[in-house]
Amino acid sequence: MDSTRRQWDQLAAAYLESPTHAKGEDLDTLLRFADPKADETALHLGCGVGHTLRRLASRVRSAVGADATPGMLAGARTLLAREGLTNAMLVVTPAETLPFLDATFDVVTCRLAAHHFSDPGAAFREVHRVLKPGGRFALSDNYAPDDEALDRFINTLEATRDPSHVREHTVSGWRDLIEQAGLDVTDESRGTIHIETEPWLARSRTAEAAAERAREMLRTAPRPTADAFGIDAGGFDLLKVVLRAAR
């Protein structure tokens, strides 16, 4: 956890300017699935620099952004101030042990963070605990194909680029973790986003030796892998899923 925190503390500025995080079809779908309302209280888990939190906070009475890294929350504070949002609180906490009372929130969201959680099952159990009965949970994250070789490729690539990466689960894996936490998955949406390799590596400040290993993996990927991930001279596709669950 300490090494992860140190790494992400240094990256807030790059993620403030990241178009992949600032917008996207998955973000629009996440908010549609979460269906936040003006009189509700919301939690955004793993909020990073706050791109999703700012959209969420603008639609609810009050919002909390939770993240394990103070540096990323400093970026979120900058973004919220830039947007003039005063109804959002920022809390430093790991996702697996949230400092909130039971049944506190109407809505919980989590976007592009759960693949960094050391124990996503524990985090989703915490989501269940802090949600009010009838509350909604919306998760957006990358996913691995069901094919074992393709799963291994994308998770190895992600970990090569970013040592804080833990695991992109398959869609069924994400669903199982949510349902084992006591939540009922009711909706699913899948999509892709094309990633440009060099900005992707620069954003995480990947060490050059590791960056070259990632480039080599992409250059030498066998044809089925290249097809599955849309690998071309400039980048590749990340597979994304958005899930909606109810407590």
Which CATH number among 3.40.50.150, 3.30.360.10, 3.30.1360.200, 3.40.50.620 corresponds to the domain 2-143+162-192+240-246?
A: 3.40.50.150
Residues near 12 by beta carbon (within 8 Å), at least 6 away in sequence = 49, 71, 72, 74, 75, 78
pTM of the model: 0.91
Rounded to the nearest 5 degrees, what angle is found at the Cα of 239, between the Cα atoms of 78 and 45?
35
> pLDDT digit string (tens) for 5-44?
555 445 655 565 656 566 689 999 999 999 999 999 999 9
> pLDDT digit string (tens) for 151-190?
999 999 999 999 999 999 999 999 999 999 999 999 999 9
Amino acid at 19: P
- Where in the chain are the domains? 2-143+162-192+240-246
What is the C-alpha to C-alpha distance for residues 110 and 140, in angstroms, rounded to an integer? Answer: 6
